[in-house]
Amino acid sequence: MQTRILVPLLCSLAAAASAGRPAPAMAETILVDDQVTLRDSSTETPKRGITMTQVEARFGAPATRHDAVGAPPITRWDYATFSVFFEHDRVIHAVATTGRAEVASR
């Protein structure tokens, strides 16, 4: 069942990335009863590769800035609906964080 969901999702993300535009659909990965589940997310997040300056210009100042850790240095900025992870000053990943309380309450 999970394979049937993941394959089309990965294909659509790959097609969108190769076309140079944002993915048409995003999904959140959540854990329910020890099962990984994908849920659609409409949360807009920064694109991979843009700078901290570009993120702040587009999304404003983050609610929380965490200090860099490790080598290479990884920094996390938390916004109301997502978190952004940077390597040096470039986005490497963004994660939608809305719905955490809803998942935890199940």
Q: What are the Cα distances from residue 92, in Å, to 37, 38, 80, 84?
A: 23, 21, 19, 8
Residues of the chain with CATH 3.30.1450: 45-106
| Contact call for residues 77 and 65 (beta carbons, < 8 A) | yes
All residues at 6 or more sequence positions from 96 whose CB lies less than 8 Å from its CB, including other chains: 26, 28, 41, 43, 45, 81, 82
Within 13 A of 95's CA, how many CA atoms are on the CB side? 11
Q: What is the pLDDT of residues 62-90, one digit of tens each?
A: 999 999 999 999 999 999 999 999 999 99
User: Looking at the domain 45-106, which fold is it?
Assistant: Beta-lactamase Inhibitory Protein; Chain:B, domain 1 (3.30.1450)
The pLDDT value given to residue 9: 57
Q: Which pTM value belongs to this model?
A: 0.58
